Amino acid sequence: MGDFFVRRPIVAMVIAIFMVIVGVVFMSGLPMEQYPDITPPIVQVRATYTGANAVSVEQSVATPLEQQINGVDNMIYMKSTNANDGTMSIQVSFDIGTDPDMNTVFTQNRVAAATAKLPEEVKRLGVATEKSLPNILMLIALTADDPRFDQQFLGNYA
């Protein structure tokens, strides 16, 4: 089989050119983003139970909230932290590409449903639900005063 392409190099070149053309055609159809989402959006739920230790916070605050939040739309996982100073934090991670504002609304609805099961002290201080953006670690802006250097050139240069 190897002798075939040695004796007929034009066939090998035609196949190679054909493969390059097909590759370029399909490459132009691939989706691209300048800043793709690489980390899942997070909604953070925080509460304080004054005077309680970590075990009490877990049993009386974190568990009812986790049971209610579990299964919220587009959720992939949740992480709960309880401290001996009476603070509790739940980080709810959602699918990449979902709307952080809608994720916050869905989570807030679940938290509101669980509020009746919480101790009076926690209800009085309130339970905070807010979106968290973990994906921006550092942001660098590259600009040019010269009109020859457009956004595409600067992006390629960076």
Q: Are residues 69 and 108 in the same domain?
A: yes
Q: Are residues 60 and 95 in the same domain?
A: yes
Rounded mean pLDDT for each run of 10 residues along the chain, 158 residues in total = 80 93 89 75 92 90 92 91 92 89 92 90 89 70 84 84
DSSP SS3 for 129: strand
What's the Rg (C-alpha) of the chain?
27
Q: Are residues 22 and 71 in the same domain?
A: no
Retrieve residue 31's tokens. Answer: 């989706």
Scan for tokens 């449903």, then name that residue: 113
Half-sphere exposure of 87 (CA within 13 A, CB side): 8
Beta strands in 42-133, from DSSP E residues, in sequence order = 42-48, 75-82, 87-94, 127-132
User: Backbone phi, then psi, for 3, in 5-degree steps?
Assistant: -65, -30
User: Which pLDDT score is estimated for 89?
Assistant: 94
Question: Total structural domains in the chain?
Answer: 2
Q: What is the pTM of this model?
A: 0.64
Half-sphere exposure of 143 (CA within 13 A, CB side): 2
- With respect to residue 152, please indicate whether it lies within any of the assigned structural domains: no
Q: Are residues 12 and 78 in the same domain?
A: no
User: Which pLDDT score is estimated for 18?
Assistant: 95
Domain containing 117 equals 42-132
Cα-Cα-Cα-Cα torsion 155, 27, 40, 112, nearest 10 degrees, comes to 110
CATH of the domain at 58: 3.30.70.1430
- With respect to residue 69, please indicate whether it lies within any of the assigned structural domains: yes
